[in-house]
Structure 1
Amino acid sequence: MNAIIECLQGDIANQPDIDAVVNAANARLETGGGVAGALHRAAGPRLAEECRPLAPIRPGQAVITGAYALPNRYVIHCLGPVYGVDEPADVLLADCYRQALELAHRHEVSSIAFPAISAGAFGYPAAEAARIALSTVLDSLPELAGLKRVRFVLFDAASTELYQRTLDTLTFH
């Protein structure tokens, strides 16, 4: 595996060394709370304009847009499953990460930053969301030679520690 996987606490809208940031989007690809709100506010109104004709998207689906005023080349928008509503939730969540990575590969992205998709307002249990996210990325990386850095940008210290511990368990056992 050539890529570096990082788990950092921070702001997904402020990752200037990353080619593409991933938005934990809503189906309409509109400004919302959390990650979607932060990225749309930082990117400016042209992001919403580009998103409008791409919506709606389904759980597990991803689309790519420009990043506008963000310090990145692209925003990849993923609609994660609402836990307990969208089933099979584990497959749909893995599809988010897989589709985002495929879009990154097609657009020659060498670095990508993910939030904890579905683990906020969509109610996905954090430990399970971390396991699915990290195992999907690890399984996908061998086919993505151009991808050199995958960063998980987490909102708080507890989430960051959970993702790092999960990554360590998956890579060292």
Structure 2
Amino acid sequence: MLKIKVIKGDITKLKVDAVVNAANETLLGGLGVDGAIHKAAGPELLAECQTLHGCKTGQAKITQGYHLPAKYVIHTVGPIYSGRARDDAFLRACYVNSLDLAKENNLHSIAFPAISTGAYGFPTGRAALIAFQTVKKWLRKNEAAKIEVIMCAFDDKTAALYQKQV
């Protein structure tokens, strides 16, 4: 049974094993979800991120959650939307690599924001389709991992698009 839940809310308030940060390549904080996670986690997150030496688009790295209710933060760098096919591949990789890290660290709950749909300009509907297809496929292939996935929408439009994908 696939365990995917959609909620509308603030990802920094979720009590899960890991929240996913839609980060930039520096991992040193930024706008939107990235800035909110860094602010809520406290300065210790920035200090740990400085030791990671950045992250490439589509890849993921894990840190402690510090002052967040989540134990960990999985940082992934989504693509800046260009309209090319590689954008879709990079976005898929964000979800797969984040889930792989969760599995490697024996985590059982993970919350994703709408990666790349803010400042990076990825069309929300297309991003939602890719996110759900990718997560469902990963969960089917990794049933033994027993990971609950929460798709966290910050606004009504994204929440409605997510509900259609469940």
Superposition TM-score, scaled by structure 2 size: 0.95
Q: Mark the CA change 1:88 to 1:26 in structure 2 (over 3 Å): closer, same or farther.
A: same
Pick one of 36, 41, 44 that aligns with 1:43. 41
Q: Which residue of 1 aligns with 2:139?
A: 141
1:161 equivalent in alignment to 2:157: no
Partner in structure 1 of residue 126 of structure 2: 128
Q: Superposition RMSD on alpha carbons, in Å? A: 1.3
Q: Give the superposition deviation at 1:72.
A: 1.2
Name the SS of the counterpart of 2:19 in structure 1.
strand
Note if 1:24 corresponds to 2:22. Answer: yes
Mapping 1:80-99, distance limit 5 Å: 80-84=78-82, 88-99=86-97
Q: 1:85 to 1:166 in 2, by over 3 A?
A: closer
> Which residue does 1:171 correspond to in 2?
none
The answer to whether the 8 A contact 1:7-1:154 is kept is: yes
Count, aligned residues: 165
SS of the counterpart of 1:120? coil
TM-score, normalised to structure 1, is: 0.91
State whether residues 59 and 86 of structure 1, in contact with CA within 8 Å, keep that contact through their aligned partners in structure 2: no
Secondary structure at 1:56's aligned position in 2?
A: coil
Contact 1:9–1:154 (CA under 8 A) maintained in structure 2: yes
Deviations 1:110-159 (A, max 9, x none): 00000000011100001110011110000000233223310011111111
- One-letter identity of the residue aligned with 1:33: L
- CA shift at 1:86, angstroms? 7.7
Structure 2: segments with no counterpart, 5+ residues: none
Separation of aligned partners in 2, 1:128 and 1:19: 27
Percent of counterpart pairs with the same letter? 46
Output the CA distance in 2 between the equivalents of 1:121 and 1:130: 16
Residue 76 of structure 1 corresponds to 74
Deviations 1:40-66 (A, max 9, x none): 001000101111121321110100000
Name structure 1 gaps, 5 residues minimum: 168-173
